[in-house]
């Protein structure tokens, strides 16, 4: 507790069996910029929420400035001088930019109601002081001329700056930034980095979460790496960059079983699915910036990239969950970009969603039978068709025998691996022409990942077209016929898997993010 401003001691937080923060301890020294990094679902934001009081840790303590804060309410912690921004923007859309920042001002935090009703002079002077402070903060981030604008009408970059200005208006001792750079253009990133460096010079302690690792390496004094909720490394940027465990956490472990390299070059088989110049927006974030993709019939195409690169948005766009603002999707000769998800799945493009999308209260058997819904979709099923579905279910049980014993169990009670298998089987029951898989290996033990990738390989062999989105780059490249590397919403690289394997630019794409 010497000069450490913030101390995390053995903090654990879990949500119904899923361990978000696993007994972590670390310190944030005063006046330093400390970064918290780690792959998707590593528990970074949960750690922030334990600091700011949004979650109460199940075990362990959080110390700030020599005071225990892990039991305090968020607004009490804010009063102590911890300010934060949010991963998905939480600005007051119904207020003007100036009013957004004034909310954080100490002077107008608890105004006297009667005085406010009568507009007594005391109230007016508090308002003016708060206004002065707000203007000062807006000046700092360069939003002064947008003061009167309704916060809702700002651009995405400006809204990010507004959140920082609002946090600064709290006059904090510690500033928590949750992915301040994600979704920003190059110049906006430069502006934000300059701002952070200026704040550091003014003596403010900054603790930030960020995916853009090259910038993180550049601006932070100290880095803490989380994976699966536990701390796997800590230290100066150069130490962390070369740490084997960190690289493995990001790039994933390669699969033991050797698969022979795919024969034949691209292009002999005719394409079944092509994407041209796809631009998709997720609320205000420009997630896909002109993506072109070509999937050949009967091939397994892998799409890899750091998290936040837009992989899930890409699959979601193909599956019809998000409609692209620009660009075309052509499948089996028909254009699909405007078709809603329920029709897309009936036409044979079936997505196995990220984190599996379980129907918790349906049994395994019911979930699998429901998988056939896109094909049937009618109320009454003829007896003959019912029998055919039963046979298909038997085949599915051969693919993943483990599901047969769990047949009567509720999907919600299965383990992560079993849920992933069920999700895949549910997708297969729809007799998909193209099967989309979103990060099947996420959060699974290596043994299970092995089994799943092996099954995918068999499916590919039986002429099923598969698009595999995976962060576990090494395993994916081993079973893929062709691969794309997605970065920041654009295709950075594409080619045959073994060419890409040796390419050093993949490491940069992962570790640098630029």
CB of 360 to another protein, least distance (A): 6
Among 72, 130, 141, 293, binds another protein (CB under 8 A): 130
Among 24, 47, 345, 465, binds another protein (CB under 8 A): 345
CB of 406 to another protein, least distance (A): 18
Rounded distance between C-alpha atoms, residue 252 and residue 240, angstroms: 16
**Cβ-contact 414, 356 below 8 angstroms:** no
- Neighbouring C-beta atoms of residue 182, cutoff 10 Å: 20
Closest CA to 215 of 200, 201, 196: 196
Q: Under rule CB under 8 A, which residues in 147-166 are in contact with another protein?
A: 147-148, 150, 152, 166
| 432 makes contact with another protein (CB under 8 A) | no
CA atoms within 13 A on the CB side of 384: 0
Among 18, 71, 90, 142, binds another protein (CB under 8 A): 90
| 131 makes contact with another protein (CB under 8 A) | yes
Name the token pair of 114: 């009667």
| 13 makes contact with another protein (CB under 8 A) | no
Q: Is 285 or 436 the residue whose CB approaches another protein more closely?
A: 436
| 369 makes contact with another protein (CB under 8 A) | yes
Among 98, 208, 329, 479, binds another protein (CB under 8 A): 98
Among 374, 440, 489, 497, binds another protein (CB under 8 A): 374
| 334 makes contact with another protein (CB under 8 A) | no
Among 24, 47, 100, 299, binds another protein (CB under 8 A): 100
Question: CB under 8 A: which stretch of 303-311, 328-336, 364-372, 485-493 binds another protein?
Answer: 364-372
| 341 makes contact with another protein (CB under 8 A) | yes
**Would the CA dihedral through 149, 285, 167, 143 be positive or negative?**
negative
Among 229, 324, 353, 432, binds another protein (CB under 8 A): 353
Closest CA to 39 of 203, 333, 250: 250
Beta-sheet pairing, 300-304 with 482-487: parallel
Among 12, 29, 31, 92, binds another protein (CB under 8 A): 92
Cα 287 off chain centre by: 12
CB of 222 to another protein, least distance (A): 24
Angle at 83 between CA 249 and CA 76, to 5 degrees: 115
- Neighbouring C-beta atoms of residue 237, cutoff 10 Å: 16
* Furthest CA-CA distance within the chain: 83
Q: Is 49 or 478 the residue whose CB approaches another protein more closely?
A: 49
**Cβ-contact 181, 189 below 8 angstroms:** yes
Place of tokens 């957004």: 100
Among 84, 222, 311, 460, binds another protein (CB under 8 A): 84
Q: How many residues bind another protein (CB under 8 A)?
A: 81
| 366 makes contact with another protein (CB under 8 A) | yes
Question: CB under 8 A: which stretch of 123-131, 188-196, 244-252, 257-265 binds another protein?
Answer: 123-131
Q: Under rule CB under 8 A, which residues in 173-232 are in contact with another protein?
A: none
| 104 makes contact with another protein (CB under 8 A) | yes
Closest CA to 43 of 503, 457, 443, 474: 443
Q: Is 78 or 306 the residue whose CB approaches another protein more closely?
A: 78
| 360 makes contact with another protein (CB under 8 A) | yes
Q: Under rule CB under 8 A, which residues in 35-54 are in contact with another protein?
A: 52, 54
Place of tokens 């699998």: 368
Rounded distance between C-alpha atoms, residue 67 and residue 55, angstroms: 18
At 86 the three-state DSSP class reads coil
Rounded distance between C-alpha atoms, residue 438 and residue 313, angstroms: 10
What is the three-state SS of 45-62?
A: HHHHHHHCCCCCCCEEEE
Question: CB under 8 A: which stretch of 67-75, 295-303, 325-333, 395-403 binds another protein?
Answer: 67-75
**Cβ-contact 319, 349 below 8 angstroms:** yes
């Amino acid at each position: 507790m010497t000069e450490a401003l913030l101390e995390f001691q053995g903090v654990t937080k879990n949500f119904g069996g899923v361990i978000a923060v696993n007994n972590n301890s670390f310190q944030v020294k005063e006046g330093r910029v400390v970064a918290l990094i780690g792959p998707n679902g590593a528990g970074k934001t949960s750690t922030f929420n334990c600091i700011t009081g949004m979650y109460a840790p199940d075990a362990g303590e959080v110390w700030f400035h020599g005071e225990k804060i892990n039991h305090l309410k968020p607004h009490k912690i804010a009063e102590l001088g911890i300010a934060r921004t949010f991963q998905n923007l939480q600005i007051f859309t119904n207020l003007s930019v100036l009013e957004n920042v004034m909310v954080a001002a100490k002077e107008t935090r608890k105004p006297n109601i009667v005085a406010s009703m009568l507009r007594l002079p005391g109230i007016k002077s508090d308002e003016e002081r708060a206004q002065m402070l707000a203007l000062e903060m807006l000046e700092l981030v360069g939003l002064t001329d947008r003061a009167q604008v309704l916060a809702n009408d700002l651009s995405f970059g400006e809204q990010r700056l507004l959140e920082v200005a609002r946090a600064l208006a709290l006059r904090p001792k510690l500033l928590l930034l949750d992915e301040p750079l994600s979704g920003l253009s190059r110049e906006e990133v430069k502006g934000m980095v300059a701002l952070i460096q200026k704040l550091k010079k003014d003596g403010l302690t900054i603790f930030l979460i960020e995916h853009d690792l090259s910038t993180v390496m550049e601006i932070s004094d100290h880095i803490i790496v989380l994976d699966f909720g536990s701390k796997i490394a800590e230290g100066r940027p150069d130490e962390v960059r070369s740490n084997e465990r960190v690289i493995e956490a990001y790039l994933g472990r390669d699969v033991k079983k050797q698969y022979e390299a795919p024969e034949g070059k691209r292009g002999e088989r005719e394409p079944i699915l092509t994407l041209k110049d796809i631009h998709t927006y997720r609320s205000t974030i420009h997630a896909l910036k002109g993506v072109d993709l070509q999937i050949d019939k009967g091939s397994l195409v892998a799409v890899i990239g750091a998290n936040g690169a837009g992989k899930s948005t890409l699959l979601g766009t193909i599956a019809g969950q998000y409609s692209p603002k620009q660009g075309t999707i052509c499948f089996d000769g028909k254009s699909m970009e405007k078709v809603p998800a329920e029709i897309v799945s009936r036409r044979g493009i079936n997505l196995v969603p990220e984190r599996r999308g379980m129907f918790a209260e349906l049994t395994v058997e019911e979930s699998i039978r429901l998988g056939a819904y896109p094909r049937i979709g009618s109320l009454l099923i003829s007896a003959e068709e019912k029998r055919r579905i039963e046979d298909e279910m038997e085949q599915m049980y051969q693919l993943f025998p483990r599901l047969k014993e769990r047949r009567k169990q509720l999907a919600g009670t299965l383990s992560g691996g079993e849920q992933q298998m069920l999700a895949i089987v549910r997708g297969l029951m729809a007799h998909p022409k193209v099967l989309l898989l979103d990060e099947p290996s996420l959060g699974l033990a290596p043994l299970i990942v092995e089994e799943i990738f092996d099954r995918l390989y068999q499916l590919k062999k039986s002429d099923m077209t598969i698009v595999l989105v995976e962060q576990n780059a090494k395993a994916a490249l081993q079973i893929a016929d062709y691969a794309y590397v997605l970065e920041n919403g654009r295709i950075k690289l594409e080619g045959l898997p073994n060419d890409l394997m040796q390419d050093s630019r993949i490491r940069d794409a992962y570790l640098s993010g630029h």
